[in-house]
Every structure is written in C-alpha cells, then in structure tokens.
C-alpha cells in the first residue's frame, strides 16, 4: 500500500512538468531503462522523464523521507514538538560545512561535500545543545538556541560565500541555499537513496527506545534504555541524513517539523508505525511540492523551500495553537 | 533480591548533594525515605536506581555493582517511579502501562501475547482497566499516578523505587495508592512527605538531612520529637499506640499563638498498622 502510494507519486512527478508527458510514456521509459523492454519512444521524452524528472522525483522523495524521520527522532528525543533539523540549526550548520568544502576547499581532496555537511551539522548540533543547556534546558531554551545557531551559521555561510566565491559561484550557491532540486541527476539519487534507507533502518531499529522517551530521558533510562548510546546513534543518523540532503538540495524548512505531526495525527505515537508513515508522507509531500514548484509559475522554477514554507508555516501555527490548547 | 548502597556520594560542582550514604534495603520491606525539600531524596533515588552514577561509592544490586549491569538487566529487577513524569503526547492509559514492557522488548524480540497478558493484569491490578482507552491528558492526577505505578509493575520488578508517589493527591487517593503499593508484596523504597503515612506504611524509615542519612530504623525509633524538630524544624508530639504504631501531632510554630494544631489528617488512628 505504502509502495503503491510512493510509486504513484513518483509517476506523477515524472509526468507533470512544463511539458506534460503521458503516463504510458513514463511507464515505458522505466521499462526500457530497467528491463531493456525496447518500447519505441521519442528520445527527447525518454530523456526528460529518465534523466531529469525521475531522478529529481526520487531525490525529492528521499529528501522528504529523511527530513521527516529526522523531525520525528528529534521531537521524540528532545521531548519538544517544535524540534526539527531546520529549526535546531542543523541544516544551517550542514550548509556552512558544505560551503566550506566547496569554496574554501577545506579538507582538500579527502572531504567530500556531504562529509563537510555532516561535520557542519554535528558541530551545529553540539553548539546548539550547549547553548540550550546554558539557557536552562526547557522547550523554549532549545528553540531559542536553535534560532541563534541558525543565524550564526547562516551568517558564516554568507560570509564565506561573499568573501571567497566568484560572482557566478555565489549566485548558484544562494539559489541552492534556498532549497533547490533543479540540478539534481541520478548520481545524486544514488547518494540520497542509501542515506534515506539507512536512516529509516536505524530509526526503526530504535523504535522501542524512542517510545520509552515518552516520559522523558530519565524515565527512558529507568525502563532500561541506554540513553547516551541512543542519543548518539539517533542524533548521528539525523545529522547524517540532514547533511546528505542539504549537500544535494540545500536546506529545506518545515518538512521535518510539520510532517511528523501530521503522521502522529494519522497513526498515533508508536514509533514502529509512526516512523515509516512519516517517511512516506514526507516523501510524497516533497514530490508534490516539487511538482508545484515547477508548474506554479509557467516558465519559472520556484525554489522548493518556498513551497514547503508556504505550506509549512500555517501548519506550524496550527501546531503551536494545539500545544496551547493542551496546556 | 537485595539492594544496598555503600558510601555513595554525588555532587554538582562544589555542592555536595548526596554525602557518603550507606543503606541496606531488606528483602520484602517497605522502606520510607523522609527529609525536607532539597535534602537529597530524589538524588538518592536516582543513584539507587542506577540512572545516575555516584561520584564515589557503589550501589549493589543482588551482589553486583549496578554500574556493571546492563540497563535492561537492571530494569527487569528494579523499577523507578519518578517524582514528576509528564508527557504532552497523545498516549492512552494502556500505552503508558505498555511502556513497562520495554526492558523485555527489542528489534528482535517483538511484542508478544505474554506482554498483552501482563499489561491486562497490571491494568486490573492498579484499577485502571476501565479507563484503558483514555488519553493521558484527560486523566486525573491520581489516575496518572496509578498508571505510573502500573508501568513500573509491568516491568515485573522485585524492587520498586517511588519518589513522592502521593504528591498532589487527596487524602483518600494517597492512602489508596500506598495501600496498592504495599499489596504488591515487593521490596519498596518510597520517598514520602507525610510523616504519618510513613509511620503507617513503612517497616523502616530512613531520614535524609542536607544530603546525609541521619537515621534509619523502625518508625517509633526514628520519629522522635527531637529529630523532627532537628530535621524539619517543627514541634511535634508523638503518640505510640499499643501495637507500636506511631502518630504525630504537629504544633504551630511558637510565636504564632502557640496553639496546638493537628496538621495530621486525623486519619492516623483509624489506620493503625496491621
Ligand atoms: N542536576 C542537578 N544540578 C544541580 N543541583 C541539583 C541537581 N539535582 C539536584 N540538585 C540539588 O540538590 C538538592 C537536593 O535535591 P533533591 O535530591 O531533589 O532533594 P529532594 O528530593 O529531597 O527534595 C537540591 O538543593 C537541588 O537543588
Ligand atoms: Mg524530590
């Protein structure tokens, strides 16, 4: 069932665009490429479907799933309904890391872009956690620390870009920073798919541990969870997923924040069900957001981050309202 | 199953919070932990349960230092009910109790019919079966506390650590809850703030003052007028009945008229120890 929904969304993603391509052609293209079916097709159509749209839809799906998973994990671990990689500054840190590698040539040769992003993400999370502890832990403290962290790392990124990048580099990077799937091709997908799958598996492996955090970390410890090991594994995997996605498509907000809440409303709080459902909704949401970003303004492509923010901000307001209602 | 602490200390920065405490919990007893706010009861509980590591000294569970046992292993023998454990999650009463099965579950050992049976029985045991489907935030304080106890009992522990389990409950629910706990026949360590309840339910009482353990013994041995004045700073008259039960009548602070006021709940005499 989940697979059907996902395939349908991918199908839509491949068919809809500036020039619509019939669903049959999409199916035949996939058959040609995967099983050498040998259907006669227009090479241009086949090229658009396979090289541009499908790879793009696949990356969008992985990205949505990864961000939603990170959101679920961070919200559950930190007992904070407003936590997500974007708000906590992890995405911003990953951007800084990626830009440091791409422009400053940090770790020349050994560090790839995603690795730079990963270290950036970890440093950002460590810094934000430290700040949050100093500010007195609570829900608000973490969010404020995240805001401060995001600002700091965004400023660092801008600084690096302005100082070291050529004008052309700078324009490309600024577009990428807003969240952009335009340049995505199959090699990106071969990075995004394993990252999202590994993330899903590690999170599912810890589903029971995440359940045990319902009444907080101390309660989890008394239920037999190794809190520190769980934190390390899950924050690590969230940082990894965020870093890979940021290095491919830039930082995209609100998906990690809103999708987990939608999933919880649908299937409840048990993580063994919640995690896969959140991943699925995230994947489908991102594919649809990407389609919207391509067709909303004819002849123009909106950064996908703009779409997710347009949908996400009202949803965010709704979550805030709900919280108040429950006291 | 025995639990003991030998010379455990815990501090934050320079402030010593639990100071060189040694305590042996006897099998099957109900041990009360009393002391004013901030005297270190919660911290001592955290150390005894192994979720916090002492700066020095050791907690021994069944002959093994608790720090050397796995967390899961510990959680199958010993359950802790914290002083404050709340959630904003939309969790049902039943799901709260189900969490108690965590130490028996893992990615490779999924939920089983046995776990269902334990949860059903536990819900009956804590008298919450009729509310099993209710959401957490719709439940009363007493009901939530019974579920916390239920979650701990679903761990099937031999030892139950309870940190001020009767906080915020009315008198009927306080007595009911302590009675429920005692019915389980487990080894219990409970931090209690009502001295009359401590006297009524505990086999022994341990007194904390500024991080130190200043007395341990039978209620009538520990609850003396001098000690209550010394530790809590209030005047009290102690009555000991024929069965050895002891009742405490607190007196208003001198200078405020000096009238004798019973701050006990007046139920002390009716619930003499059986
Ligand atoms: N994590 C901590 N950091 C700093 N101080 C703490 C911490 N935990 C407890 N304390 C302090 O230790 C003292 C004892 O606290 P606690 O164990 O909660 O006492 P009780 O439960 O008897 O009220 C208090 O003064 C409290 O402020
Ligand atoms: Mg306390």
- Give chain A's contact residues with B (Cβ, < 8 Å): 79, 81, 204-205, 207-209, 211-212, 214-216, 218-219, 221-226, 264, 268-270, 323, 326-327
Instruction: Determine if residue B258 is left, alpha or beta; phi over 0 gives left, psi from -120 to 50 gives alpha, anything else beta.
Output: left
Print burial letters for B144-165: b (CB count within 10 Å at least 16), e (below 16).
bbbbbbbbbbbbbbbbbbbbbb
pTM, full prediction: 0.89
pLDDT tens digit sequence for A65-75: 999 999 999 99
CATH of the domain at B116: 3.40.50.300
Work out how many domains chain B is built from and give that number: 1
Q: What percent of chain A has pLDDT over 90?
A: 48
Q: Which residues contact B240 (CB under 8 A, 6 or more apart)?
A: B220, B246, B247
Q: Is residue B271 part of a domain?
A: no
Assess if residue B241 is contained within a domain. Answer: no
Contacts of B255 (CB under 8 A, 6+ apart): none
Mean pLDDT of chain B: 89
DSSP symbol at B71: H
Within 10 A of A222 (CB to CB), how many other CB atoms are there? Answer: 31
pLDDT digits (tens, 9 = 90+) for A199-234: 999 999 999 999 999 999 999 999 999 999 999 999
Decide if B237 is inside a domain: no
Q: Is residue B37 part of a domain?
A: yes
Mutate to test the pocket of ligand 1, among B21, B38, B206, B213 (most ligand atoms within 8 A of CB): B38
Least confident of A293-307, B55-69, B157-171, B184-198: A293-307
Residue A60: pLDDT band with limits 50, 70, 90: very high
pLDDT of residue A49: 86
pLDDT recorded at residue B268: 40
> B38 in a domain, yes or no?
yes
- Please tell me the predicted confidence (pLDDT) of residue A38: 84
Say if B221 falls within a structural domain: yes
For residue B257 the two structure tokens come to 């008229």
Best of A78, A137, A222, A227 to mutate (most B CBs within 10 Å, chain B)? A222
Domain with B115 in it: 3-232
**Percent of chain B at pLDDT above 70?**
92
ipTM of the complex: 0.86
Determine the straight-line distance between the first and last CA of chain B, rounded to whole angstroms.
Answer: 25
Residue B20 pLDDT > 90: yes
Residue B240 falls inside a structural domain: no
């Amino acid at each position: 069932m989940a697979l059907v929904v996902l395939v349908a969304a991918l199908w839509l993603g491949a068919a809809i665009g500036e020039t619509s391509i019939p669903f049959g052609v999409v199916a035949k293209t996939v058959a040609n490429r995967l099983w050498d079916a040998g259907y006669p097709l227009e090479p241009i159509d086949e090229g658009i479907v396979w090289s541009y749209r499908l790879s793009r839809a696949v990356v969008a799906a992985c990205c949505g799933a990864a961000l939603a998973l990170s959101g679920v994990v961070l919200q559950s671990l930190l007992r904070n309904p407003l936590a997500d990689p974007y708000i906590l500054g992890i995405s911003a840190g990953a951007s800084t890391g990626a830009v440091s590698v791409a422009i400053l040539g940090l770790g020349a040769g050994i560090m790839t872009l995603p690795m730079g992003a990963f270290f950036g993400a970890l440093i950002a999370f460590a810094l934000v956690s430290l700040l949050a502890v100093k500010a007195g832990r609570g829900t608000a403290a973490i969010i404020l620390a995240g805001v401060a962290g995001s600002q700091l790392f965004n400023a660092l990124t801008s600084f690096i870009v302005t100082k070291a990048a050529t004008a052309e580099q700078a324009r490309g990077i600024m577009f990428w920073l807003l969240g952009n799937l335009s340049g995505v091709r199959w090699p990106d997908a071969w990075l995004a798919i394993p990252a999202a799958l590994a993330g899903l598996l590690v999170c599912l492996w810890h589903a029971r541990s995440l359940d045990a955090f319902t009444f907080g970390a101390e309660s989890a410890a008394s239920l037999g969870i190794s809190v520190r090991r769980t934190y390390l594994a899950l924050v690590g995997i969230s940082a990894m997923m965020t870093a890979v996605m940021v290095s491919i498509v830039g930082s995209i907000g609100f998906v990690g924040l809103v999708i987990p809440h939608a999933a919880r409303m649908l299937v409840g709080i048990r993580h063994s069900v919640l995690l896969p459902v959140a991943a699925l909704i995230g994947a489908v949401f991102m594919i649809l957001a990407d389609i919207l970003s391509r067709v909303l303004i004819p002849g123009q492509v909106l950064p996908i981050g703009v779409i997710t923010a347009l949908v996400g901000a009202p949803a965010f307001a709704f979550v805030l309202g709900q919280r108040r209602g429950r006291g | 199953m025995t639990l003991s602490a030998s010379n455990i200390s815990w501090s934050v920065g320079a402030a010593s919070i639990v100071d060189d405490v040694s305590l042996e919990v006897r099998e099957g007893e109900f041990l009360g932990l009393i002391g004013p706010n901030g005297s270190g009861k919660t911290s001592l509980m955290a150390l005894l349960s192994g979720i916090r590591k002492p700066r020095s000294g050791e907690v021994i569970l069944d002959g093994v230092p608790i720090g050397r046992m796995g967390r899961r292993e510990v959680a199958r023998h010993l359950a802790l009910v914290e002083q404050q454990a709340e959630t904003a999650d939309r969790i049902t009463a039943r799901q709260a109790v189900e969490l108690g099965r965590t130490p028996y579950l893992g990615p490779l050992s999924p939920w089983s019919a046995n776990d269902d049976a334990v949860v059903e029985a536990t819900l009956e045991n804590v008298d919450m079966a009729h509310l099993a489907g209710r959401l957490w935030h719709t439940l009363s304080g007493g009901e939530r506390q019974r579920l916390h106890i239920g979650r701990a009992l679903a761990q099937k522990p031999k030892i139950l650590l309870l940190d001020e389990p009767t906080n915020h409950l009315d008198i009927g629910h306080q007595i009911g809850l302590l009675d429920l706990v005692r019915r389980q026949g487990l080894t219990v360590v409970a931090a209690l703030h009502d001295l009359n309840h401590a006297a009524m339910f505990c086999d022994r009482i341990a007194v904390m003052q500024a991080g130190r353990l200043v007395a341990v013994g039978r209620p009538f041995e520990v609850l003396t007028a001098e000690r209550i004045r010394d530790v809590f700073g209030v005047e009290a008259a102690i009555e000991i009945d024929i069965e050895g039960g002891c009742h405490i009548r607190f007196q208003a602070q001198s200078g405020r008229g000096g009238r004798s006021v019973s701050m006990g709940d007046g139920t002390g005499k009716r619930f003499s120890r059986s």
